[in-house]
Amino acid sequence: MPSSYVICEYEAVKKEFPEFQSTMDALEQSLIAKAESDWAPLRYGRFKPDAGEFGRTTILPPLFNDITGTRMVTWEQWFNGTGNQTIMSGSAPNSTILEDFKVGFVGLALLSKAIRISEIKMQISDKKLPRINIEEAMAYNKPAIVFEEGYILDEETSFELYAYVLSQGPQRIKPIGFQVNRVRDKTLTAVGSALA
């Protein structure tokens, strides 16, 4: 459960939330240790993994489905209804994260000019995280919600992000964090193609 979080400008996350780097470092260490344990004998190869290594990238949209249940190719989506909605979920069956991927998740960036949601809540596997009122975020240009502790979205584990949607229209919501990939070639798809 997020013990606390910060809402600030996305471009100023490091400046406004100085603990962000230590949060990312701790999450990276936890995620790498989990991946090395689960994917042994593979070792961590960072951004250019060699044979026998797993790699790291930014979080890729195709790991998630949008509000319509369609696999994402960008972080942009169209809200087609109002009220409580599932606005992002794992793209594998049963809203799970695809096999061979693990995500280190520390927050969300709301990158549209119009913020169309007023609160969020999440479920990661069987953990229900409490509702967060983000109306304060509407005062920022590109707000980010950053947790003091990161979460691991494990392969074949469910993830759902719910929101109270205020209006229909375009919305760009980007998870903040990184992912590790057991199979390098699964991340090398043509633009707009789904991950295998």
Judge whether residue 192 has pLDDT over 70. Answer: no
pLDDT digits (tens, 9 = 90+) for 109-157: 999 988 999 999 999 999 998 899 988 888 888 899 988 889 999 999 9
Higher pLDDT pick, 15 / 120: 120
User: What gap in Å lies between CA 66 and CA 167, rounded to an integer?
Assistant: 16
Do residues 80 and 70 lie in contact, with contact meaning Cβ atoms separated by under 8 Å? no
pLDDT digits (tens, 9 = 90+) for 76-111: 999 999 999 999 999 999 999 999 999 999 999 999
Tell me the mean pLDDT in the region 162-182.
95
Tell me the mean pLDDT in the region 32-57.
92
pTM: predicted TM-score of the whole model, two decimal places: 0.88
Judge whether residue 1 has pLDDT over 80. Answer: no
Judge whether residue 195 has pLDDT over 60. Answer: no
The two beta strands, 64-65 and 159-165, are unpaired
